[in-house]
Amino acid sequence: MAFTILDGGSFLSTGAGVKINIPSSCDYFKTWNITQMPLAPATPVVVMADWFGEKFGLGQTAANDGLRWKKSANTSVLNLDTFATSTASDGFTYIKTVPYVEAQAANAITAITAASPAVVSQTNTYADGDIVRIYNTTGMLQIGGMPFEISSVSGSGYTLTGLQAVGFAAAATAGNTRRISKYAAVDPEVLYVTEVTKASSAVVRFSVDPTRYYVVGMKMRFSIPASMGMPELNGLTGVITALNATNYTATVDIDSSAFSTFAFPASTTSPTASLFATAAPAGAYTSYNPLTLVQTGYDFVKQPFHSGEFVPYLFLAGGAQSPAGASGDQINWMSYKLEV
């Protein structure tokens, strides 16, 4: 048996995790932090890291682990241990199936404000654009189990742009989250509806940024349980005429001005009030306007049904003591395969 270098590359770390696609799978993976390698940093850093695949049997790397070559504060001396060793830091995770649910301990929320947008208080290591599923909520049972895209992330909290909770009776006082993959196994995927305006062209807000999955011209079919209000929208199909990545909204060609008001049921009605409102992909409306030269229905990237996320890939956690490094670090990587 011999190792073959499959692929290699480098990236400038933003401090966030990095996904490396490995189409033909991988048996060994290595990273070097070129920036930190020659330094004696003031705080501990990982300058080199190794990951071993399942062909190594008992020696394979567990999820969120790997070997780390670490420099302690103010020294160039290398210490070799694993990411799981105390003091633990995030390492490598090899993803073979999607949707991926991050293997992590339940992450406790201390509060979700009844505001628009809702703000979550939680000690976390998330990044802007991550999607977390919120569950075990106390005080906001009506959102328990729903995934949300998060923004304005700090170590102590983040914003749920997709949740306008000012109409909720009370704030949540507890809950848990688990990070999930940004794409379902197949896209375009079902999205969770959190708000619908009453207008000649309804504006629909989702729990995640819809521009990641949908384009103008695509159709959506709405499924609205009676407990969410606006039953007139249930079962209707609309064409998307505009998308807004800032507000997580889509405008559809459905006149909802005379509809009932869309609203989450009261927390006290859970778990018997049926949830959630969703919108599912229903094809596309193909058109061409010769005056404006605008053409819809011919986007062959997002519009067709296709695999949501390419697997397998290796996820490199970000941070000074993780394989993807801290912001500004130059990271080199190579993937290897055991070949016959």
Partner 1 sequence: MALGITNTNNMAPELPLQFSEDLLSTPMYNLIHSFGCDMHFAEAHIGKTTRMSRYERLSTDGGQLDGSGIDPAPEVVVRSDIDATMEIYAKTVVINEQVTLYENDKVLTKFTALLGQWLREKEDLLMRDLYSSSVSYVNATGGLNGDQPSEISRNDVNNIERILLGNDARTMLQSVDAMNKFNTSPTRDAFIALANTDITPDLQNVSGVILKAAYPAQEGLRPEEYCSISRFRFFVSSKAAKIPGASLTGATVYTIPMYGLEAAAKIDQNSYSAILGYRPPYVVSSVAQNSQLYAKFAIARAITNQNWISGLNVTQRL
Site residues for partner 1, 164-203, by CB under 8 A, read 176, 178, 184-190
Complex with partner 1: residue 11 or 135, whichever CB lies closer:
135
Distance CA 136, CA 7 (A): 42
What are the residues facing 223 on neighbouring strands? 278
Neighbouring C-beta atoms of residue 48, cutoff 10 Å: 19
312 binds partner 1 (CB under 8 A): no
Contact 281, 189 (CB under 8 A): yes
Of the residues 297, 312, 332, 338, which one makes contact with partner 1 according to CB under 8 A: 297
Of the residues 7, 25, 84, 133, which one makes contact with partner 1 according to CB under 8 A: 133
281 binds partner 1 (CB under 8 A): yes
Closest to 240 (Cα-Cα) out of 257, 221, 223, 256: 221
Could you give the count of Cα atoms lying within 13 Å of 110 in the half-sphere of its Cβ?
7
225 binds partner 1 (CB under 8 A): yes
292 binds partner 1 (CB under 8 A): no
231 binds partner 1 (CB under 8 A): no
Shortest reach from residue 197's CB to partner 1, in Å: 20
Complex with partner 1: residue 215 or 331, whichever CB lies closer:
215
**Distance from the Cα of residue 123 to its chain's centroid:** 17
Choices 41-49, 54-62, 122-130, 218-226 (CB under 8 A): range interacting with partner 1: 218-226
Site residues for partner 1, 49-108, by CB under 8 A, read 98-99, 101, 106
Distances (CA, A) of 43 to 72, 167, 213, 286: 7, 45, 40, 57
Distance CA 202, CA 252 (A): 6
Residue 210 is encoded by which pair of tokens? 């819809």
Of the residues 283, 330, 334, 338, which one makes contact with partner 1 according to CB under 8 A: 283
What are the residues facing 315 on neighbouring strands? 19, 93
Residues binding partner 1 (CB under 8 A): 98-99, 101, 106, 133, 135-137, 141, 144-145, 176, 178, 184-190, 219, 221, 223, 225, 235, 237, 270-276, 278-286, 297, 300, 303-308, 340
